[in-house]
Amino acid sequence: MSYRRRWASGLVCILMVAGAWRASAGSISIVGDAQPLDGDPLSEGICKNAAGRLFFHSQGRLLWGTRPSWDDSVPVDFPTNVLRSIVVSEGTSALRQNDGQLSGTSLLGSLLMGEDSDGLPVKVVLCGSDSEADPGTNWTLIEAWNPLSNAWENPCVATPEVPNPRALLLSGTWDSKGAHHDDDRRITVACQTGALAKCVAWGYRPWGVDYRGRSLAMVHQTCTRMARADYCGDGVSHTREGNVIDYYDTFGIAELDPSRSEAAGETFEAAWGPDGAGCFTRLRDGQPAAALDQECPGRFQKRIVELQEGDECLYSSKSIYSILRTRTVMPTP
């Protein structure tokens, strides 16, 4: 899925591109041979690959953006992860920040322990961090031990545009249904190819506040549902690769340009909340609305609800959240 991003200035960006990997002044660098894993015989070959551009592209079905398996035959949108979180122990607590990210340099190049989606231990190394490409965030290059190839590899889903993706490290965890859980002992690995990181890049930083001082944590969670067209709030994506969405909010981050939206042939799709769609007119993947009756029975009823900007829902839930809204071009069958 590709996304049309609307900034307050009215500029529309389909792709967000930043410069090549570079070190921040005074503290951030890629770790190489000078800082091997002390006492670990598997340290050879670690952190040798430089990260590519900070590039957000058309993939849209992934939540974490991490590889589902070290076996490349497993589909990339399979709901498992070779690395889902990093375990925060006494040694890593110094990297915790009040802004909800994991940052710092004291343990760059050191061995950390993570967990996969089955809760099994995974060896992890933070190779470097960069906050210049996207000020206010710490994009980190991560490597994990692949027991199939017996080598250190990037756990993020790679693409031709970004063969060595970076990740954000976000406070707490997200389960397979896409729900966030506060957890002081675990940090989620959110790769730039997944919705968790993309929503941060689009301005919905869960540790931030809007111009009124309102927390963006709920808005970020809502964005993860919206980005993947997770109508039922159960982690099931209803988008297609290549879908374009126009999203907007009341937080002063993304604004609607009605005339441009109309000229592009976009029509209202849905209003979104942290647990999925509050109401919608049609499904982004082109399926009939009745397809949700089996997935989340009784959640949506055929009931017209009028929203602002002329948006109108045809199917509504009992509690209509409208934190974010989307318009799309009707998909072809």
Q: How far apart are CA 109 and CA 121, in angstroms?
A: 18
Task: Looking at mean pLDDT, say which of 133-137, 164-168, 329-333 comes out highest.
Answer: 164-168
For residue range 219-259, what is the model confidence (pLDDT) as tens digits?
999 999 999 999 999 999 999 876 788 999 989 999 999 99
For residue range 42-98, what is the model confidence (pLDDT) as tens digits?
566 688 776 666 655 445 799 999 999 999 999 998 999 999 998 876 544 444 444
Question: How do strand 16-17 and strand 173-174 relate by DSSP bridges?
Answer: unpaired
Confidence check: pLDDT of 132 > 70: no
SS3 content of the chain, % helix, strand, coil (to 5): 10, 30, 60
pLDDT of residue 89: 66
Tokens of 188: 């989620």
Confidence check: pLDDT of 102 > 60: no
Q: How far apart are CA 251 and CA 245, in angstroms?
A: 18
Tell me what the mean pLDDT of segment 116-127 comes to: 93
For residue 251, give the nearest of 326, 323, 196, 201 by alpha carbon: 323
Give the DSSP letter of residue 133: S
Q: How far apart are CA 286 and CA 162, in angstroms?
A: 29
11 against 301, higher pLDDT? 301
pTM of the predicted model, to two decimals?
Answer: 0.84
